Structure formats: C-alpha cells, structure tokens
Amino acid sequence: MICTTMFRTMFRLVARITMLSWVPLLTRLVALASSTGSHGCKCISTDDCWPDASAFAKLASEVSQPLVQPFPTASACYPVSDPSGNCTEVQTLWGDGNWRSNQAGSMQESNYETFTFDNGTISACYRDTALGVPCEQGSVPVIGVDARTLEDVQAGVKFARVHNLRLVVKNTGHDFLGRSAGRGSFVIWTHHMKNITVHDTFTPFGGRKNEKYSQAITLGAGVQWHEAYDAANGANRTLVGGLSAGGSVGAAGGWLLGGGHSALSPTYGLGVDNVLEISIVVASGEHIKANSHKNTDLFWALRGGGGGTYGIVTSVTYRTHPLQQVIAGFLTTSIKSSTPGTPPILVKLISEFFRMSPNLSDAGWGGYGLMAPSAPGESLAMQFVAIAPNSSWSAANDSFLPLIANVASLAANSSIDDGGLLNITFASTFPVESFHAWLTQFIDSGTAETGGNVMIGSRLLPKALLDVNSTRAAETWLGLPGITFHLVAGGAVSKTDPDATGLNPAWRKGVLHAAFGSGWPEGTSSADIEQIANGIKQNLTLIENLSPNAGAYLNEASLFETDFQQTFFGNHYHKLKAIKKRYDPTDLFIVPKGVGSEDWDEQLHCRRRK
C-alpha cells in the first residue's frame, strides 16, 4: 500500500515536470511498492510469487552459462537403489574443501546445508544412506546464476531485485554463519570468476597519476587462496592471505569483507589493511569501484562490514610484499595426568603462552595454536606453529626462544604427583625460503577439514587481558571444547587507526583470535542439536564475562551472539547500517547476523513488525 503522503509528493512532482506522464509514474510507484513483497516478505521457492519457467528461461538467455540448480553434497548417493551420480566420489572426497567448493550446493560444513522446521523436523541429505532418511534440499538454494562475467552478476542481481527473491551469494561455502545458503533461495555463484592480473604498477580508479603501487594483484571473485598464492609467488611477491587445508578459502569475498586474518597480519596487517580497490555490483545493478578516492564510504564499509551485505564483489586488488625468507617456529607438547579434569600444569602452560603472545606478535610472529589429543592415556597437548617474516634469524630467536625456555622450565618442574607431567615433544626455529614454501611444506598437509557438523564461538583476546590476567583466561578457555588460538593480531594490526576501516575496532586491541566448537554425527535429532547449541550459548556468556566487549571475528563466530552488532562491529555498527541503506535501500542483500539483519525474522524471509 502506497502511503497518502507519498502520493501527494509524487503528484506535485508531476505537476512541475510537464514532460513526465503520470501514467508511467504511477506504474513505477506500484512496482516500487510491490518490490518489498507481500507483507514485507521476500519470495522463496515455496511461495506463489516464485518466478515461472518462462521468467527463468528469459534469465537463462541473458547469462553466459546455463542456470545452475544446486543439490546437497550427498545427493549423488540417492536414491540408494539407483544412485543419480558418483556416490563413490562423494564418499571419497567428502572432507576435501576444494572439491566441495566446486559443487554449487555444497557448504564446507554440512549442517549449513540442512534446515530445521519449527516442529523440529530436519530437512537434510545425509552421506550415511543407512540412516534411511530421504535426501531433501534443506537450506541449499534451488536455482541461480553460475556467474562467469560481470554481466552475469548484473543479470542475476537485476532478476533477484525485480522478483523480490531471497538472494544468497556463494563462492566456496566457507562460512560458519550460513551466509552462503538459504532455504528456497536464489543464488549467484561466483566460484568460476577466476581472473588474476599481476600489475607492474597499479593506480586506483580516480587516483592521482603519481599514485602508483608496484606489483599489486587483482583477483576475481572466485579465486581461492591456493590460486592467489601461486600467482603471487610466480611474480616473486607475497600476499597477506588466509590459511586452510588445500587453500580452499576464497581470496576476494567474505574473508576480506569480514576483516581477513593471516599469519602475516602481525607484520603486514589484516586483509582489510592491504586492499587497494574493490569492484562490486550493488543492488541497483550498477558496477562500481570503491577505493580511497571513489565511493569512499562504501570502501570503508566493505573493509570489515561483512560479506553478502553491500553487494556482490567481482574483484579485489591487493598490495603485495617482497618475497623473502621467513623464520618458522614450532612448539608441541604433551601432558600425562593422574587427576580428573584440567591438569594444573596445562593451565600454567596456556597461561604462559597467553602471557607471551603480545611480545611474540609485536616481534612479527603470527601463527596458529590448538589443543589436540595426545597419545592414549595422556591429556590434551598444545601445538603451536608460527612464522616471523621480514626478520633475521637472530632477531626471531630473541623473541621465540624465551617461549620455548619458559615451557621447558615448566616441564622440568612438573610432576605426575602434582597433577600432570609436561613433555616438550618438539621445539625448534629454522629459516624457510618463503611464506609460500612454509605453506606448502608445513601447513598445506591435507584436505580432511570440512564436511562435518559444527557450531563455534570465538573472541578476540585483548592485550590488556593477556598482560594482567593470563591465568584466569587460561582457566576459562580450557573449560571449553575444541579450542584453538590464532596469533593473528597485535603488531602491525594494533598500529592501524581503529576508524580507518569499517572493521570492528576491537581488532586493534586484540592479540589472539580464540575459538571453540562442538560437533555431532549425521542423523542427530534437533532436540540434541539444541542441547549442543545451549552449551555454546553458555560458553559465550563465560568468555564475554572474561573480557566484556572484546569483540569477535565475524567470519569465525557464533550465530548465538546476543548482541552481534556490538560483538561483530563495535561502535561502527550504526555508520555501517547507514551506508548499507544508501547502497541497498530495500535489503536485497541480507545475511544471518549481518548489518541490518535485526530487521528481519530468523530465516530472513519477512521483515519484523515494528
């Protein structure tokens, strides 16, 4: 329904502009009113408003590839008596992140392919066919555009806008918030936009002629980190980028838009600190470039405002850094314990690691730590692997060897009679040819990291906490399941103006990005999954009480944050939302726990009533 005030305003405009006919004007107004959908809802595949075959046929004639009809990852194994595809491939490559990214309907974590109805019924497609559950679409989008060109993206955006569709944007499906999926949705799949250009010199659009960046690199929306690293290494350059088995994470999408952490971040900053220009299709269908000269408000928002929120990124240009030797550091431990619960020696070990982390990041060390099961009969062990780029061996040892020495002292004074025996199983530092070589030799060690069902939570651990209360922090985090500690802040990250980008300012005070998580097997009931979710919620309360308003990395965080606006975006939230309204006034782009999502119901189907 168009309001009376709106009619009056528009009729006054008609009276003043005699060349504009009132008939087409009213037609535009009706179209505008209907664009918000019936009762403020987006259109999904089960609604009567869903486009008919002729509409999709017209869209198909406008894009370079046939429309894609995604299916859940395990669909090739159904029906069991007559598989519709290569079920052997599904079973063999289930945990391969790169294989999953090549499937239009695959999410990297299987639970984001499922959908739970209000009555507790789960719509899913399980790999284990013996469960006897039919394969259903779940939250996997039903149809969309396999985008290969800018024009493909624009055609898809226009179609979704005209038909008021629930739209999702997907590249690889690496997402712990489920932003790459949506029940009954229309998808624009950017995975095959693989163009890579290495520039001898690069001047941002609208920049001064003397503003030149040497050896910048432009990555298409579908480029993954293993492809980006290879290209940069071939040009004798280093890129600040993400880490995953096989390098399957996308390099020019959600990783960057959420901040983008890296083992190189303490030396060179986060992804948002290294981007020079972003090309994006916004809700109007216009293709624009955002940088420090053009569309500066959008450029600010895109650097930390979250993926799938402001439009569809088609390419990103990053600055690069010289290819040079790095120093690698390794520390692994194991603990034998004779007491139940968390061994006191483990608390001391993690407390010491926490306490020394700010010094390590200030010295340029960046890396990853986790608690992993030891040998049978032993407790958890800590493993920490890190690098110091742009550092001499002697300088790196001056900062890393004290950690090894302090842990060795703890081990020498530990006793099984006092609750636990700490052993250092491996500790070393040594030069490695380059960051790329480090990834290839020591990190990129497999593919079995995806395909599970998992919920996580996380926090940025600020320097103030680690300096003053590392023991309490260790005790709190050791009470959580599946914990990891990423040394990806501090150093150069802390030296950047907190308001220079739309990123949560909490990043500039953090040192460690810490996460925890829980998983479950296929076929678990919705009631049991809800219990797991309740455990996540309780643990979120614990870590928030430990360091209030410390913030979290929104790309690796929980859907159950009670104040996601503050936790993910800090005091930048209201500005981010104002910029979103400027470029996406009808919320064509809306994602779970993204900017503006509080205005929509949990499924992002209908607007909440105010």
Topology given in CATH for the domain delimited by 326-566: Vanillyl-alcohol Oxidase; Chain A, domain 3 (3.40.462)
Per DSSP, 48 falls in state T
pLDDT attached to residue 494: 98
In which band, very low, low, confident or very high, does the pLDDT at 515 lie, cut at 50, 70 and 90? Answer: very high
Specify whether the CB–CB gap between 331 and 372 falls below 8 A: no
In which band, very low, low, confident or very high, does the pLDDT at 381 lie, cut at 50, 70 and 90? Answer: confident
In which band, very low, low, confident or very high, does the pLDDT at 38 lie, cut at 50, 70 and 90? Answer: very low
Specify whether the CB–CB gap between 269 and 494 falls below 8 A: no
Specify whether the CB–CB gap between 493 and 507 falls below 8 A: yes
Rounded Cα–Cα distance for residues 129 and 74 (Å) = 9
What value does the mean pLDDT of the chain take? 91
**Nearest alpha carbon to residue 291 among 305, 281, 303, 282:** 303
Annotated domain spans of the chain: 4-34, 326-566
First vs last C-alpha separation in the chain: 17
pLDDT attached to residue 7: 28
Q: Please write the tens of the pLDDT for every residue from 393-419.
A: 999 999 999 999 999 999 999 988 777
pLDDT attached to residue 22: 29
Q: How far is CA 98 from CA 228, 244, 437, in A?
A: 14, 10, 20
Helices 470-478, 526-546: axis angle to 10 degrees equals 180
In which band, very low, low, confident or very high, does the pLDDT at 443 lie, cut at 50, 70 and 90? Answer: low
Q: Please write the tens of the pLDDT for every residue from 547-559.
A: 999 999 999 999 9
E strands, 142-286, in order: 143-146, 167-170, 186-189, 196-202, 213-220, 237-238, 275-281
Q: Write down the H helix ranges in 269-340.
A: 296-302
Whether 427 shows a pLDDT value over 90: the answer reads yes
Residue 446 in 3-state DSSP? Answer: coil
DSSP secondary structure, 350-376, as one string: HHHHHHHHHHHHHTT-EEEEEEEE-ST
Rounded Cα–Cα distance for residues 248 and 426 (Å) = 29
pLDDT attached to residue 445: 55
In which band, very low, low, confident or very high, does the pLDDT at 380 lie, cut at 50, 70 and 90? Answer: confident
Q: Which amino acid is at 556?
A: E
